[in-house]
Amino acid sequence: MLYIGADHGGFGLKEKIKEFLTTAKIDFTDVGNYKLDMKDDYVDFVKKVAKGVKMDLKNNKGIVICRSGVGSAGTANKYDGIMAVNTNTATMAQKAREDNDANILALGGDYVDPSTA
């Protein structure tokens, strides 16, 4: 299962990624936020994504999105079994998966174009 979550800084990008996943018929679970809330905190959604991925480290993956992706990656990496990477290109993400067994992709809503994500 793919888990996806974002705070207000990544909400718009998350919604675009969800459209792509739905069109591509890729199963995912959205752990929030479900509405744009300028007072929410990425930490809450990173925790939910990390817990989802940890339920099956072999098969589950995650995407977390905040303004830069840096805070989300750092927070996710505090969980045992999680290897989160903050990347801005598909090649970097692929290499992180292949070389480092990354299981969570952290994206920056302010820096990553939906077509790249």
Q: Could you tell me which residues are beta bridge partners of residue 61?
A: 2
* 8 is annotated as an active-site residue: no
Asked if the peptide bond before residue 33 counts as cis, ω within 30 degrees of 0, the response is yes
Task: Give residue 86's domain range.
Answer: 2-108
pLDDT tens string 60-116: 999 999 999 999 999 999 999 999 999 988 899 999 999 999 999 999 999 998 888
50, 63, 65, 66: the catalytic one is: 66
* Residue 34, domain CATH: 3.40.1400.10
Query: Could you tell me which of 104, 93, 9, 27 has the C-alpha nearest to residue 63?
Result: 104
Which is more confident, 37 or 90? 37
Answer whether residue 47 is part of any domain. Answer: yes
Report the distance separating Cα 50 and Cα 54, nearest Å. 6
Answer whether residue 32 is part of any domain. Answer: yes
Answer whether residue 61 is part of any domain. Answer: yes
Answer whether residue 117 is part of any domain. Answer: no
This prediction has a pTM of 0.96
Answer whether residue 116 is part of any domain. Answer: no
Answer whether residue 96 is part of any domain. Answer: yes
Report the distance separating Cα 115 and Cα 50, nearest Å. 25
Residue 35 Ramachandran class (φ > 0 left, ψ -120 to 50 alpha, else beta):
beta
